[in-house]
Every structure is written in C-alpha cells, then in structure tokens.
Amino acid sequence: MQLYTVSEVAKKLKRRKSKVYELIYSGELEATKHSERGLRVSDQALQKYLESKKVIIQGNNEAV
C-alpha cells in the first residue's frame, strides 16, 4: 500500500494543500495520522475519492 503526503496528493489532484485538508476534514478523502509527521492518504483512499467524482455524460455512457 502506497501512502502519500498531503503535498503529494495536492500535486496529483492539481489542488492546493488547503483544499486537500478540506477534503480530509470533511470526510470526502480518507486519511490517517502518521505519527508526528502528519496525515497520509493511501492510494486506495485516493482512488476511492477519484471514483466518487466520475460523471456520466447522458447518451454516451462514458465516465469523465
């Protein structure tokens, strides 16, 4: 299992770190406290978040 820092997740999502923290504290993105070094997001949690954001375009059946 791969663990990402908040900074790494922000880069992957092309968002600011503050937005990633907002997603974590709102419960939209699962994270775990990793000792004194801060929060970590697993690759599974990141994938789950991305899957929840897929949108189906009517008449095309393709996820965007």
The tens digit of pLDDT for each residue in 2-60 reads 999 999 999 999 999 999 999 999 999 999 998 887 999 999 999 999 999 887 777 65
Range of the domain at 7: 3-52
Buried b (16+ CB within 10 A) or exposed e, 11-32: eebeeeeeebbebbeeeebebe
pLDDT of the residue at 6? 96
pLDDT of the residue at 27? 96
Alpha carbon distance 47, 49 (integer Å)? 5
pLDDT of the residue at 63? 57
pLDDT of the residue at 54? 82
Is 28 inside a domain boundary? yes
Tally of domains in the chain: 1
Residue 22 amino acid letter: E
> Which of 47, 58, 52, 35 lies closest to 9, judged by CA?
47
Is 25 inside a domain boundary? yes
What sign does the CA torsion over 61, 11, 41, 21 have? Answer: negative
